[in-house]
Structures are given as C-alpha cells and as structure tokens.
Structure 1
Amino acid sequence: MPNPVPPRTSNAHHRFVIGLDGEGHWIARDEQGQTGGVFADRLSAIRFATMESDHQAGAIRFAPRSARLSLFN
C-alpha cells in the first residue's frame, strides 16, 4: 500500500496589504517590505498576494480608499 502524500506545509508568513498609490495603480506589498508589486488592476494584485501568501486565509487586507500606498513606505 503506498504512503499517502503528507499535506503541504508552508513557511510563508507573508501578510499583504493591497490598495492604490497616488497615481491610481494597484499596489500589493507584504507588511515586512520584503516583496510586492505594482499592478494594472485590483484582481492582479489580489492574485499576486494570494500566491505569495500560499493561499493562507486572512493573509490579505485592503487599505482604506483614502490611504495611498507605496512599495517603499
């Protein structure tokens, strides 16, 4: 009888914030400032953050509409 494959465990502890920058681009960046990107649309930013956080529930939050994000702050 073959051994079942153990569930995939993740060392990813990235938590992301997603929002707009001052020019209207979508920003997704981790809260530690280790990874992130600038995206043309909201869905692309969400996909990036989802993949980078290894699909962890609660790993993504959205900045308030009044906040302006940057990759560098």
Structure 2
Amino acid sequence: MNPERTMPSLVPAAVSGTPAAADPIRFIVGQDRRGHWVAVASHGRAGGLFRSREAAIGFAVGETGHRPDAVRLSGERVELRL
C-alpha cells in the first residue's frame, strides 16, 4: 500500500453540498394483526402483503435500491392502509 495515497474521506451529502434526496424512501417490515407479513413505505404510498418475512424484506430492499439502513424490521404490528 502506498502511504502517499489515501482514500478520500466520506462526507454526508448534506455537508458536502451535494443535493441529497429530500425524502428517501424507507420501509418498515413486520406483521399485521392477522399475522401477514407487510412492507410499508415510510411515506405511506407504497407497500404490500407477503407470504413470508423474506419476501417482504426482498421487496423493500429492491424498492430502496439496496441502501443500508433503508429497511427496518418492526417488533410492533404494522398495518398496510389502502
């Protein structure tokens, strides 16, 4: 490794002046009161019912572009409102 060559430091977009997404989509995954697996977007305009936890998480991960910390697993009941 070359000691003269260093990796650039990572700076959050808001600090670096690069425009960040105003409302990044995030998903909550959990079970509704009937035991169905649910994925619901934080803004409430996307989501669905799924056969398994893995399917709900897979959907949410795909919808968020595989961003770290964009999908949360809830220990509380999650309701999909239509």
TM-score bin, normalised by smaller chain: 0.7 to 0.9
Instruction: Answer yes or no: is 1:51 the counterpart of 2:62.
Output: yes
TM-score, with length taken from structure 1: 0.76
CA-based RMSD of the aligned residues comes to 1.8
**TM superposition shift of 1:20:** 0.3
Partner of 2:79: 70
Give, in whole Å, the separation in 1 of the partners of 2:77 and 2:67.
25
**TM superposition shift of 1:58:** 0.5
> Relative contact order (C-alpha < 8 Å, sep 6+): which is higher?
1
Give, in whole Å, the separation in 1 of the partners of 2:66 and 2:45.
18
Larger Rg: 2
Partner of 1:34: 45
TM-score, with length taken from structure 2: 0.68
Q: Percent identity?
A: 38
**TM superposition shift of 1:36:** 0.2
The aligned length equals 61
**TM superposition shift of 1:72:** 1.5
Give, in whole Å, the separation in 2 of the partners of 1:70 and 1:26.
10
Give, in whole Å, the separation in 2 of the partners of 1:13 and 1:31.
9
Runs of 4+ in structure 1 off by over 4 angstroms are: none
